[in-house]
């Protein structure tokens, strides 16, 4: 396992080093740790889960370079190049591509296909766990600064019925409210749901305090 991860790191480290949007190598390594912890509790192919976790955000870097949203599916040709020489079976490589393609489909299946295999579900959970809590908040602020997104737009209602990755939120507080506070609802595994509770509580309290202070409500 360690040798496989070292091979993956050598391939992607430079690719992700230029990121300033919260999808850096640090995020990949945290997602890997979450994924392997979840695998130890929930099962699944450890190699597929590890590699998927480490390279799941290639589409984010491509989006930064192209200055437009790039879906996970659109990144698969690049992902294929990264994994083609890894000591994995063809079936494992196909599984990695599938997991990465569907790692953002946690709320509902897209293109008529929803992942149900434990490897894909763990990747979704691991990625989402790193998006909430204290680290998730810092990542959200990093992304907002990189995109020059405002912290809060009071004139725009907070709630949106369905979150869409390709649509930018009006502000950081909108993003936390519309997406991050809902991620706990979409966790697939029992282990991830347990981990998400404390993280979601922290984000909820931060958001409520920020809005109160901005609006001059101090009681």
151 lies in a domain?
yes
133 lies in a domain?
yes
Handedness of CA 124, 207, 151, 168 (dihedral sign): positive
The CATH number for 118's domain is 1.10.3210.10
Residue predicted with more confidence, 46 or 216: 46
| Residue 97 structure tokens | 């591509």
What's the confidence (pLDDT) of residue 162?
65
For 132-161, what is the mean pLDDT? 87
What's the confidence (pLDDT) of residue 64?
78
Q: How many domains does the chain have?
A: 1
Mean pLDDT, rounded, of the chain = 89
The domain containing residue 137 runs over which residues?
A: 2-214
What's the confidence (pLDDT) of residue 183?
94
Confidence of residue 108 (pLDDT cuts 50, 70, 90): low
219 lies in a domain?
no
For 9-28, what is the mean pLDDT? 74
For 42-46, what is the mean pLDDT? 98
Q: What DSSP assignment string belongs to 104-171?
A: T-SSS-BTTB---SHHHHHHHHHHHHTTSHHHHHHHHHHHHHHHT--S--TTS-S--SS--TTS--SS
What's the confidence (pLDDT) of residue 134?
95
Backbone angles phi, psi at 218, to 5 degrees: -115, 0
Flag whether pLDDT at 3 surpasses 70. Answer: yes
Distance of CA 52 to the CA centre of its chain: 12
Flag whether pLDDT at 143 surpasses 70. Answer: yes
Confidence of residue 168 (pLDDT cuts 50, 70, 90): confident
What's the confidence (pLDDT) of residue 156?
87
Q: What angle do CA 154, 156, 162 make, to 5 degrees?
A: 130
pTM reported for the whole predicted model: 0.88
Q: Which segment of 27-41, 65-79, 103-117, 177-191 scores lowest on mean pLDDT?
A: 103-117
37 lies in a domain?
yes
Confidence of residue 190 (pLDDT cuts 50, 70, 90): very high
Flag whether pLDDT at 62 surpasses 90. Answer: no
What's the confidence (pLDDT) of residue 126?
97
What's the confidence (pLDDT) of residue 23?
67
């Amino acid at each position: 396992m360690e040798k496989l991860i070292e091979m993956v790191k050598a391939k992607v480290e430079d690719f992700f080093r230029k990121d300033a949007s919260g999808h850096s190598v640090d995020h990949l390594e945290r997602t890997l740790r979450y994924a392997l912890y979840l695998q130890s509790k929930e099962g699944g192919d450890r190699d597929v889960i590890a590699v998927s976790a480490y390279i799941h955000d290639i589409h984010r870097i491509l989006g930064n370079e192209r200055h437009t949203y790039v879906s996970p599916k659109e990144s698969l040709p690049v992902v294929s190049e990264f994994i083609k020489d890894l000591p994995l079976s063809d079936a494992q490589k196909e599984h990695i591509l599938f997991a990465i393609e569907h790692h953002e489909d946690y709320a509902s299946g897209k293109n008529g296909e929803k992942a149900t295999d434990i490897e894909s579900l763990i990747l979704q959970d691991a990625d989402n766990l790193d998006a909430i809590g204290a680290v998730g908040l810092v990542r959200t602020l990093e992304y907002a600064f990189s995109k020059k997104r405002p912290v809060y737009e009071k004139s725009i209602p907070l709630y949106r019925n369905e979150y869409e990755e390709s649509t930018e939120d009006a502000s950081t507080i909108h993003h936390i409210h519309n997406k991050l506070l809902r991620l706990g609802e979409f966790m697939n595994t029992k282990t991830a749901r347990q981990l998400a509770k404390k993280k979601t509580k922290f984000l909820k309290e931060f958001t409520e305090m920020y809005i109160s202070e901005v609006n001059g409500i101090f009681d």
